[in-house]
Amino acid sequence: MEKYDVAVVGGGTSGLTALRQLSNLGKQAVLLEAGSTTGTKNVSGGILYSKKPKNGRVYNIEDVFGREFIDEAPYERAITQYILHATSRDKLYSIDLTPVHEYQINYAYSVLLSRFVPWLAKEASDMSEKMGGGVISGVHVRSIRWETGSNDTVIETDELEPFRVRAVIAADGTNSELADVTKARNKFSSEQLYQGVKVVIKLPETILEDRFNITSEEGAAHLFAGDVTMNHIGGGFLYTNRDTISLGAVYHMDSMMENPVEPSRLIDALIRNQFVAEFIKDRVPTRKANQALISKDEEIRQHFMAVKLLKAWNNLRSDYYSRDGIKRLIESGKFKTKEEIEGRINNLEKELVEKYNCEFGDNYVELEYSARLIPDGKRCRMKTPYYKNVLFVGDAAGRGVFIGPRIEGLNVGIDDAVRAANAVARSLDRNNFDEQYLGSFYTKSVEESPYTRDMKEIDKEYLKIFLDCSKHIPKDIVGSRYGMIFKLMSSSTLRGIAVGFANMLGFDRLLPMVESVDTYVNVPIEIAERLGRHVDSNYIPNTPSLQERIAKLDYDDDSVPHIQVTKPRSEFMQKMVSLCPTRCYSSENGDVILQHEGCIECGTCAYETLWRHPRGVKGVSYKYG
Amino acid sequence: MPVRPLNVGVIVKLEPDFSEGNVSYNPDGTLNRAETKNILGPHSAAATLAAFYCKVKYDARVAIGTMGPPIANQALKQAQIISNADELHLYSDRIFAGADTLATAEVLRLGVSRMNNGLGADIVISGHRASDGETGQTGPQTAWKLGYPFIGNVIDFQIDQENRSIHAKRFILLYGFYDVIEEIQAPLPVFISADPSYKPSFDTVSERLSLARNLNEARSKAENFEKYLQVYNSEALGADPRFVGLPGSPTIVYKVEKIPKAKAKRRVEFIDGNDTAQLDMAAEKLLQLMTEAPIK
Ligand SMILES: Cc1cc2nc3c(=O)[nH]c(=O)nc-3n(C[C@H](O)[C@H](O)[C@H](O)COP(=O)(O)OP(=O)(O)OC[C@H]3O[C@@H](n4cnc5c(N)ncnc54)[C@H](O)[C@@H]3O)c2cc1C
Ligand code: SF4
């Protein structure tokens, strides 16, 4: 049996950071990733933060990947605006939370993981190869075991011969199979999870910049609370990428279980919010059926011609609204001036309208639909994030900062990964993998992380900045209970006492009070209604059906289902009929039946099923993530 | 004792791309070789993959050779992308023209001996056959000339470097009977031809790491593949003019059949699957076509 020093399971941001850090420390490690290539299975919102807390230190991505990261990594935009909107049906009240966003940060970049993760993978594997390790994708780790009389761990996969390692870093995400196999923790329950649903929307670069009032070096984040979540605890987000928008929402699973609504319908509600609709609006062609009596042959000819022209129009327009694109077109000699390109676009439009029954109007262009569970670190972070010589990091360890508008999992997983890699390197140096030496050391390191502090208690300073930003909201706005809290918090002397009291209660007891439909839905609606301005959109976005959304995704179907239903009649499984984002479940004579083919591996149904990731290469592959 | 490094030689062939739209014919119906796009033939690609397997699994040194006009170097570049080859050989000379399989085998024999810095090859791999009028004899004849045992239709193999032997599985199709997988052990050096279905599998962590490394290397090598290219003419190979080209070809071509020129006559008709009247019409048409079709 082959033997390596370390196995890292999972090639998301956490796993790749662990691999790179181990390589930086001169250690040999092999990373196994189930997706056909790295980055095809990862979903995020996603803003990646680099932070500089006042107390304690966190490890940021550039600490591991070097300065090259800032210059070379394919991130989308530096997020420089951060605005929260309270929404009601047709009103909106905005609060500029940029100071909250900028609290203790070096920078924040929007990222699309399917582009971003492969860069990390290349950087990590180049370094790791020098140490005799590297990245292996298309391999699904099925199990791990310990042989009697040996400290080594045997890694078993669906694709490769088993091999031995001395330590394991489990970076296999929220539905960690390693956590299941080792029983290092229970499966996360609905109380501990949020369901994230997201669409990526196309919007040409300079149109996007004009609309969000940003330069090419800037980016915007908009958050939504109120009626957009259809009565669920949670909120919406809109992040600008280079020439796309990430629009999504997170919903507390408990409130989804209480009031099950199909995730695709929820995202439709967000898209149709008048304010959001205006943000994502673009000029979109549609083709009407031909009324004139023409032969089938002629109809086909026209169809192909129209498709060809539409493609030309689309490409030219994308270039026209992009700085590099215009430069490319003019340098290629095809066009002399910007006006000439514009003329050509107009002519194409004219031809399409006059000859090919096309219409150009307001709509939006959706590129990808995705969903994933997110662990709420306040409720589910592993208190001892290890089992024997297996260290859990990132989502697999249930670690994420989820407070108010903050959704931070990427940076937390990166910080964990460095701590885990450091702990493992130390054990390799001393050839000591005992729990006291490895696991306890890692636990202590993680406990020291400022991110862990954020998962345990309220940060007074952060709260102050937050309240300062919302100071224009009259204190009497919300029912006496919240008004009272608000008043308490707004006074600097009383705030200290109130926060102290809250922290004494602990998040466990505090959360059910604070995270409620009232605070997440009713209060924002009331704010919007009383203080907000009217918003009006001149069109209703034509959202695709779920079938169309699924059809756009890439799958490599596994003939063997990776999920087994064990309780077809349970209340939980009945709810999956609505809550599976790709409607894989249906109900027949009271039994819930699974059709796994459209599964996007979000993990929502995992709690009461035998749930695994598909075998290597199989399943969904995201293009944006 | 450190094992002797493994040297692999592959012989490939540049072939016309027979996929639709890429073939060009002369007015008399023969293949217009100058106009037809050329690619590394699918059988040669299988042989190249087998060499890549040796590279990944045994860290072998790989040389790839082809006899042909200078444009054949495109096939060599393609082969390098597939196999991360260390040497690319082009055996090219006017006097090689008109060669039959035996005369080709002579050139290839000489080529193989020049491979891998003149060390030759412990395993020579060829494709099963080519698709442009080759008869599947070049491989066995080259093996015969080299004096190596020949194993055809190989679908899987392992090398024992210490004992210098090969353990190969070969696929034998007995038409209308049943299929056999034969296992053969033979000493090195050996000549194998890769079955068209050959697909290497990499089942251990070290193989997969080596695979990733080799794929990366291959990509960067092929970017300036000329650096790895060695061109040999008849003299450089030390060929005896009596055994190469037309003089070295005893084959008498009895009759050449023209390539049946398939003039695209297909017509597409779209049928709305929801319209029963259209479906009826389609069924009738199919029935008519089937009854009219000549049965050969
Ligand atoms: C909608 C949404 C919005 C979010 N927004 C933000 C945000 O704005 N900012 C932020 O910081 N965070 C955000 N997050 C959270 C963040 O995306 C995650 O915390 C982060 O991606 C987790 O990274 P990870 O590497 O720990 O896990 P993952 O990215 O889940 O990676 C796990 C990897 O392991 C692989 N794997 C799993 N099991 C196996 C196995 N058995 N064998 C081999 N491979 C396996 C998977 O294929 C996958 O690639 C958001 C999440 C969602 C869903
Ligand atoms: S079947 Fe389960 S894991 Fe798959 S998409 Fe549906 S809820 Fe998510």
Question: Of A456, A488, A516, which marks where a domain is finished?
Answer: A456
Q: How many independent structural domains does chain A possess?
A: 4
Instruction: Show the tokens assigned to A378.
Output: 């306040």
Q: Tell me the CATH number of domain B7-243, given options 3.40.50.620, 3.40.309.10, 3.40.50.1860, 3.40.710.10.
A: 3.40.50.620
Measure CA A304 to chain center. Answer: 38
Residue in this structure with the two tokens 């090219």, named with its chain if needed: B92
Query: Which range is least confidently modeled, A453-457, A482-486, B80-84?
Result: A482-486
Model confidence pLDDT, tens digit, residues B206-249: 999 999 999 999 999 988 999 999 999 999 999 888 888 777 77
Burial A173-188 (b: 16+ CB within 10 A, else e): bbbbbbbbbbebbebb
Q: Where are the domains of chain B?
A: 7-243
Using CB atoms, which residue from A129, A160, A300 is nearest to B205? A160
- Do A349 and A406 reside in the same domain of the chain? no
Which residue did the predictor score with more confidence, A136 or B280?
A136
Q: What is the pLDDT of residue B95?
A: 87
Residue B2 confidence (pLDDT) above 70? no
Single out the residue in A363, A395, A429 at which a domain terminates.
Answer: A363
Report the predicted TM-score, pTM, of the whole model to 2 decimal places.
0.89
| A595 and A492 housed in the same domain | no
Give per-residue pLDDT as tens, B101-147: 888 889 999 999 999 999 999 999 998 875 555 567 888 889 999 99
Same domain, A131 and A48: yes
Helices and strands in chain A: count of H runs, count of E runs: 24, 28
- CA diameter of chain A: 83
Tokens of A362: 């307001």
Round to whole Å and give the CA distance between B142 and B104.
Answer: 8
Does residue A133 sit at the B interface (CB-CB below 8 Å)? yes
The pair of three-digit structure tokens given for residue B213, joined into one six-digit string: 């490394």
Cβ <8 Å between B204 and A160: yes
Please, what is the end-to-end C-alpha distance for chain B in angstroms?
64
A471, part of any domain = yes
- The response to whether residue A407 sits with its C-beta less than 6 Å from ligand 1 reads yes
Q: Is B285 on the interface with A (CB under 8 A)?
A: no
pLDDT computed for residue A422 by the predictor: 98
Judged by CB atoms closer than 8 Å, whether chains meet at B212 and A134 is answered as yes
- Contact criterion met (CB < 8 Å) for B203 and A159: yes
**Considering the domain boundaries, does residue A562 fall inside one?**
yes
Here the CATH number for the domain that contains residue A589 is 3.30.70.20
Q: Are residues A486 and A614 in the same domain?
A: no
pLDDT digits (tens, 9 = 90+) for A572-608: 999 999 999 999 999 999 999 999 999 999 999 999 9
pLDDT one-digit tens code per residue, B70-113: 877 788 999 999 999 999 999 999 888 877 788 888 999 999 99
Nearest to B206 among A2, A159, A300 (CB): A2
Q: What is the pLDDT confidence band of residue B296, given thresholds at 50, 70 and 90?
A: very low
Residue A432 CA to residue A437 CA, distance in Å, equals 7
Q: What is the DSSP string of B10-47?
A: EE--EEE--STTS--B-TTSSB-TTTS-EEE-HHHHHH
Which residues, at least 6 apart from A396, have a Cβ–Cβ distance to it below 8 Å? A10, A14, A170, A171, A172, A173, A174, A176, A178, A179
One-letter amino acid at A56 equals: G
Query: For B119, which DSSP code?
Result: T
Of all atoms in ligand 1, which is nearest to the CA of residue A10?
34
Q: Residue A198 is inside which H or E element, if any?
A: strand A193-202
Residue (of A20, A94, A82, A73) closest to A45 by Cα position: A82
> Tokens 């408990």 identify what position?
A254
Same domain, A449 and A427: yes
Task: Please tell me whether residues A289 and A419 are part of one structural domain.
Answer: no
pLDDT computed for residue B97 by the predictor: 81
A145 and A176 in a single domain? The answer is: yes
**What torsion, rounded to 10 degrees, do the Cα atoms B277, B283, B289, B295 define?**
-170
Percent of chain B's residues with pLDDT above 70: 82
User: Would A7 be classed as within a structural domain?
Assistant: yes
The answer to whether residues A487 and A419 belong to one domain is no
Same domain, A476 and A441: no
Which token pair is A550?
Answer: 């699924």
* CA distances from residue A357 to A306, A308, A615, B146 in whole angstroms, order as listed: 9, 14, 46, 69
Shortest CA gap A436–chain B (Å)? 30
Question: Which structural domain, as residue segments, surrounds residue A486?
Answer: 460-505
- B205 with A30: Cβ contact below 8 A: yes
Q: Look at residues A352, A377, A357 and name the one whose alpha carbon lies nearest to residue A449.
A: A377
**Percent of chain A residues topping a pLDDT of 70:** 98
Q: Clarify whether residues A473 and A426 are in a common domain.
A: no
The whole-number average pLDDT for the span A495-518 is 76
Q: Which ligand is nearest to the CA of A199?
A: 1
Collapse the DSSP code of A604 into the 3-class scheme (helix H, G, I; strand E, B; otherwise coil) and give the result: helix
Question: Which pair of tokens denotes residue B18?
Answer: 């027979």
Q: Could you tell me if residue A120 is inside a domain?
A: yes
ipTM above 0.90, yes or no: no
Q: What is the pLDDT of residues A387-426, one digit of tens each?
A: 999 999 999 999 999 988 899 999 999 999 999 999 999 9
**A456, A472, A494: which is the final residue of a domain?**
A456
Q: Is residue A318 part of a domain?
A: yes
Q: Looking at the partner chain, which of B203, B213, B268 has a beta carbon nearest the beta carbon of A161?
A: B203
Ligand 1 pocket: which of A36, A174, A395, A563 to mutate (most atoms within 8 A of CB): A395
* pLDDT tens-place string over residues A130-180: 999 999 999 999 999 998 888 899 999 999 999 999 999 999 999 999 999
Strand partners, B193: B126
Least CA distance to A7: which residue of chain B? B205
Give the mean pLDDT of chain A: 94
- A8 and A58 both lie in a single domain: yes
Indicate whether A587 belongs to any domain.
yes
- Do A335 and A314 share a structural domain? yes
